[in-house]
């Protein structure tokens, strides 16, 4: 019973850290990466659709992204989605493809991005704490229903705390790596 609760908490914590990694990939670092725009929602025939599902995205140069829609009628909607996003990029189009020039980051913009990284890491830690709290509640409920003993309850809480600290460390590590990448000139 205790192992089931801990396994569930472990898998949920792992997913939280993975979501953090995916979110941080979308932060612009001054280098062109298709991940920067691939999940951008585009209004495609009235349905918000991730850009990667309606266009090919390549990075032929370190500071350039090329987006080639499979359906040319979606070109204007893709352009609009990029302009309204918080990426701060201006698309140029020739009627067939969209080019996104990735400008160099200013020191001020770098510091702003580092703050956003910190906010996202903290949000991940909040999610981890919520998972821990729910698992503790499950352990205490199992104790109340006499499914586990008091020793198992305390052992489970200790293991859960160690697990939480492990994933805190992973979240911090992911955040530090992204901050280092952003601050690279």
| 43 and 19 share one domain | no
Q: Would you say 40 and 81 are in contact if contact means Cβ atoms under 8 Å apart? A: yes
Task: Look up the CATH number of the domain holding residue 78.
Answer: 3.30.1360.40
For the entire predicted model, the pTM comes to 0.71
pLDDT at 160: 94
Could you report the per-residue pLDDT of 109-127, keeping only the tens digit for each? Answer: 788 888 889 999 999 999 9
DSSP lists the bridge partners of residue 93 as 98
DSSP lists the bridge partners of residue 99 as 66, 92
| 119 and 92 share one domain | no
Range of the domain at 40: 34-101
pLDDT at 162: 94
Domain final residue pick, 68, 101, 134: 101
pLDDT at 158: 94
pLDDT at 109: 78
Task: Look up the CATH number of the domain holding residue 117.
Answer: 1.10.132.20
Share of the chain above pLDDT 70, in %: 98
* Structural domains counted in the chain: 2
Residue appearing with tokens 């952003």: 182
Contacts of 91 (CB under 8 A, 6+ apart): 67, 78, 79, 82, 83, 98, 99, 100
d(CA 92, CA 97): 8
Element (H, E) at 171: helix 150-183
Low-confidence residues of the chain: pLDDT under 50: none
Pull the structure tokens for residue 84. 């309204």
Could you report the per-residue pLDDT of 145-164, keeping only the tens digit for each? Answer: 888 888 988 999 999 999 99
pLDDT at 29: 66
> Which sign does the torsion angle of CA 106, 109, 113, 118 carry?
positive
Domain final residue pick, 46, 81, 101: 101
């Amino acid at each position: 019973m205790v192992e089931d609760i801990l396994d569930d908490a472990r898998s949920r914590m792992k997913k939280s850290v993975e979501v953090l990694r995916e979110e941080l990939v979308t932060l612009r670092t001054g280098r062109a990466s298709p991940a920067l725009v691939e999940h951008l929602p585009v209004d495609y025939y009235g349905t918000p659709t991730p850009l990667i599902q309606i266009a090919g995205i390549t990075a032929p140069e370190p500071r350039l992204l090329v987006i080639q829609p499979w359906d040319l009628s979606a070109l204007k909607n893709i352009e609009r989605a990029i302009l309204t996003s918080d990426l701060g990029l201006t698309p140029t189009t020739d009627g067939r493809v969209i080019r996104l020039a990735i400008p160099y980051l200013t020191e001020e913009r770098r510091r702003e991005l580092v703050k956003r990284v910190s906010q996202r890491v903290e949000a991940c830690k909040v999610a981890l704490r919520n998972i821990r709290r729910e698992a503790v509640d499950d352990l205490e409920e199992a104790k109340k229903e006499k499914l586990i003993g008091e020793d198992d309850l305390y052992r489970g809480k200790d293991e859960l705390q160690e697990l939480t600290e492990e994933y805190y460390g992973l979240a911090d590590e992911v955040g530090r790596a992204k901050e280092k990448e952003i601050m690279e000139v």
